[in-house]
Amino acid sequence: MAEELLGCWKLVSSDNFDGYLKELGVNMATRMFVGTLKPEVHICKNGDKWSIKTVSSFQTTDVCFKLNEEFSEITPDKRKCKVRIITRHVQKE
C-alpha cells in the first residue's frame, strides 16, 4: 500500500503553501524564499525502514523512520519536533 509512494517526485505546484508556513510561524522573508524552491523528493524503503530525502537548490534533508513509531526531527528551519508517520488505506468506489 505505502510502497506506491516509492520513487522520485518533483514539485510541480502548490496551493496556499505561504499560508501554511505562516500558520507554522515561519517569518515572511523565509516564506518568500522557500516559495521559490521546487524540491525533488526521493522516497526509499529498506526492510521496515523508510527514508524521505528532499533535495533543493538551498539544502538537502534526509529523514529516516519506521512507520507508526515516533521519532525526533529537526525541521528545515531548525525547529525540533516529534513526528509519527502512519499510513491509512482508503478504498475508493
C-alpha cell at 92: 475508493
Q: Which residue has the cell 518533483?
A: 10
Confidence of residue 1 (pLDDT cuts 50, 70, 90): low
Q: What percent of the chain has pLDDT over 70?
A: 96
Position 25 in a domain: yes
pLDDT value of residue 83: 94
Domain with 48 in it? 2-83
pLDDT in tens, 49-71: 999 999 998 889 899 999 999 99
- What global pTM score does this model have? 0.77
Position 93 in a domain: no
Q: Of 63, 87, 64, 67, which Cα lies nearest the Cα of 75?
A: 63
Query: 12: domain CATH number?
Result: 2.40.128.20
Please count the structural domains in the chain: 1
Position 92 in a domain: no
Residues 28, 17, 72, 7, Cα dihedral to 10°? -140
| Residue 51 near residue 63, CB atoms below 8 Å | yes
